[in-house]
Chains A and B, each alone.
Chain A
Amino acid sequence: MWQKMMFPVFLGEQVPPETLASTLAELDRCLQLLEDKFLKDQDFVAGPHISVADLVAITELMHPVSAGCQVFKSRPKLAAWRQRVEVEVGKDLFQEAHATVMKVKDLPPADPATKEKLKPSVQVLLQ
């Protein structure tokens, strides 16, 4: 999310294409493990019922989604799970919780003072 959106859009800092590519590959690897090791043929991440694990997982996945990563597009199993989670949580609450992050792509670029303040602590996210 930071490499695809926050650095270029908000901080005005270009991210090397190979860094982003490597990050997206790692994301893909983790999504595969989420499907194969955790979700499997279950309705939810840790079994037949929604648990805190699903809340932790879905909020994570919505992060790259907010940056335009098509996380669910080529993964029907995850897309179906997302639907189930949204129904359990309630669509209004789910949208309310994600309103802030979904609007981040429309933020104006940070002013220089903000950039100076944020840059040191977010450099590690460029790896």
Chain B
Amino acid sequence: MGLELYLDLLSQPCRAVYIFAKKNGIPFELRQVELLKGQHHSDAFAQVNPLRKVPALKDGDFTLAESVAILLYLSRKYEVPDHWYPQDLQARARVDEYLAWQHTALRSSCTRAMWQKMMFPVFLGEQVPPETLASTLAELDRCLQLLEDKFLKDQDFVAGPHISVADLVAITELMHPVSAGCQVFKSRPKLAAWRQRVEVEVGKDLFQEAHATVMKVKDLPPADPATKEKLKPSVQVLLQ
């Protein structure tokens, strides 16, 4: 059994891993783990990732969790073009810096924005207090400003002049609130231009393919009561 990637393209980090693997021609078996059906809580999946999250990787007997670790493992094993995770000391440090910052910053606010604006009201039928959503969108805005001012600056890409794994991680995050109707790029021409560059580098077809699932989520019928009961406990934390 070769490389297996356990993914749900609903998830931002899964999209980053998917784009990276496909763009670099890395052969893998896609193992669907449907988050909205609670499949990540199964005992079988816990064998692959005891943290019960996606993405997860299985390479023979070797299992690996955490999208950043997976991206870096793949970049090393398959010897992808240098720009994805550059060898140069400082260039690599810039990518590392972005990858470290984004977990508790952009990732957190993009997930909350998407869930509070769309998933809770539309899919789970649960109203979100307007002040909670407002606070989340303000935090998202703050993170976007940091993305522009601290990371992107006047560069073509987030960590320098060339596309890297940092851009894949960033763009897939930003598409999350976009899928919920947040006009992330509308008032931010710098980010919009960067997005265009990333789509061109990745390839528009692959970019669209990776985002097909999340862009259709707003059209999902409301969850049935059983699904709501299963999902609600684990997503309550996203209401903060």
Q: Residues of A with Cβ closer than 8 Å to B? A: 33, 36-37, 127
Contacts and interface: CB of A to CB of B under 8 A. Distances in A.
A75 B240 CA distance: 30
A33 B50 contact: yes
A37 B64 CA distance: 11
B200 interface: no
Contacts of B50: 33, 36-37
Interface in B58-76: 65
B179 to A, nearest CB: 25
7 contacts: A33-B50, A33-B51, A36-B50, A37-B50, A37-B51, A37-B65, A127-B240
Nearest to B135: A124
Nearest to A40: B50
A15 to B, nearest CB: 15
Contacts of B65: 37
A24 to B, nearest CB: 15
A37 B50 CA distance: 6
Interface string B208-240: 000000000000000000000000000000001
A127 B51 CA distance: 23
Contacts of B51: 33, 37
